Structure 1
């Protein structure tokens, strides 16, 4: 009898220990890992958008064969903020199908659809986009500047360091090299633009590079082998909003 009682006691004790051990194992098991959120949404081969709404265009290749550089509408590559895409040449004369245009085979000068671009067409365009050229960190510019800062008379361009120190509408410093007169365009980190579109929305815009691989410290040789691949980023406000916050 005693043996049976002891046997039962051992069985109950073993069961109790098993239950406790099992409970502990469950409690000690690591919590399931949360799925990683996608940092970017892919728009197309060259374009993506981050979770804060900033759109990045990287290494878009300018069509070297199509650009004639004879100062007509075929001398430019056109981009539309509304569709986050480049548009075809046949839409170039439309005042509503594009917002900015990159000039020539390297795309270093950027014109907007409006006053500054009209002298390159036989007939004036009807677009009336405006632009404010600013200095500061892209994410630090959180609100649209005063209306008086906006103009429709200038393009975003490259120029010498001396002129860049005085004027805000110069996104990169151009330098001639003694090596066969090769040129480099080095971006100015603190220069950017805010476009006011005809529908009242605002676009915070930062030109990054005209070199393949989004180079920001190019060599003179890079101009010969890697130019004509443009990279930039921008953020579009909601209609009626002046909030340019991109770091949330």
Structure 2
């Protein structure tokens, strides 16, 4: 029986070439692995412990199809600027405006799978407190913040509300309005204690946000109507979803919104 055997030197050459090829492939595999680019750090330009006003921040709305989902509005309280939607999976934004008419707010938290920033590195959250903006001094403990998205919007004192919200929606115009056609479908932010036409008292609301970098903010939404800051100027036909709000930042580790 004749077995076909190769010369030992040939075997060594083939083995050597195979090893070199294997090493080359391993080396290329390592070199070709995409390099993760570190997220650019946001430099806070808004001063701490200073009340800051945002005027007419526009969110998309469409009265002809009000229940259709609109692009979420992202905003950086640290820089007082709107963020592009491309930033959604980053920690560059601080608060989101989503849901119906972009009227439901949430924080930026990458560890919550229900948050629009899921997978990002932010560890933020949001909470609503039944006090006026000026009366919110103490910063809540970290475990009190809710970490989902679209958490706080319409209050149960008005139409379509559930639990505590930052605004009262007067669908028929009879809860806070005079019942006229022009006072229907008006949004009333709850910045102070409010008494309805039926005599019910509704506590003021202030939003407190833990930012993705660990800083804190308190927010008072004043109006959702363009260039109209008081309720006597709010009507069914007034251009809406133009946010005017005040806020104040406090640095990471703070326990109060005072120095």
TM-score (norm 1): 0.62
- Note the C-alpha offset of 1:77: 1.4
2:50 aligns with 53
How far apart, in 1, do the equivalents of 2:126 and 2:143 lie? 11
- Match for 1:232 among 230, 245, 255? 245
1:245 correspondence with 2:258: yes
Determine the C-alpha separation between the residues in 1 that align with 2:131 and 2:236.
Answer: 27
Q: Which residue of 1 aligns with 2:208?
A: 194
| Residues 138-180 of structure 1, C-alpha deviations (whole Å, 9 max, x = no match) | 1222221234432224612013416999833x01111112739
More strand per residue: 1 or 2? 1
Structure 2 Cα separation of the partners of residues 143 and 230 of structure 1? 25
Distance in structure 1 (CA, Å) of the matches to 2:111 and 2:68: 17
Q: 1: CA distance between counterparts of 2:109 and 2:68?
A: 20
Structure 1 counterpart of 2:137: 142
C-alpha contact 2:129 2:207 (8 A) present in aligned 1: yes
Give the structure 2 partner of residue 124 of structure 1. Answer: 118
Mark the runs of 5 or more structure 1 residues left unpaired by the alignment. 1-48
Shift of 1:235: 0.9
Give secondary structure in 2 for the equivalent of 1:230: strand
> After superposition, where does 1:160-171 map in structure 2 within 5 Å?
160-161=156-157, 167-168=163-164, 170-171=165-166
Max Rg structure = 1
Q: Distance in 2 between matches of 1:219 and 1:201?
A: 35
TM-score normalised to structure 2 length: 0.60
Which structure shows the bigger proportion of residues in helix conformation? 1
Q: Does 1:207 align with 2:209?
A: no
Tell me the equivalent position of 1:217. Answer: 231
Deviations 1:52-89 (A, max 9, x none): 51111012233559x99754xx6211101221111122
Q: For this pair of structures, how many residues does the alignment match?
A: 192
Q: 1:92-142 CA distances to partner (integer Å, 9 max, x unpaired)?
A: 3x3212121223684322232237995586x83434312221111212222
Secondary structure of 2:166's aligned partner: strand
Q: 1:111 to 1:173 in 2, by over 3 A?
A: same
- 1:35-54 CA distances to partner (integer Å, 9 max, x unpaired)? xxxxxxxxxxxxxx799511
Q: Equivalent residue for 2:186?
A: 184
Rounded to whole Å, the distance in 1 between the matches of 2:256 and 2:60 is: 35
Going from structure 1 to structure 2, the CA distance change for 1:64 and 1:136 (only over 3 Å counts) comes to closer
Q: Calculate the aligned-residue CA RMSD, in Å.
A: 3.9
Aligned with residue 155 of structure 2, among 135, 152, 159? 159
Q: Which runs of 4+ in 1 moved over 6 A?
A: 162-166
Distance in 2 (alpha carbons) for counterparts of 1:218 and 1:140: 25
Tell me the distance in 2 between the aligned counterparts of 1:176 and 1:219: 17
Q: Is the 8 A contact 1:158 1:172 kept in 2?
A: yes
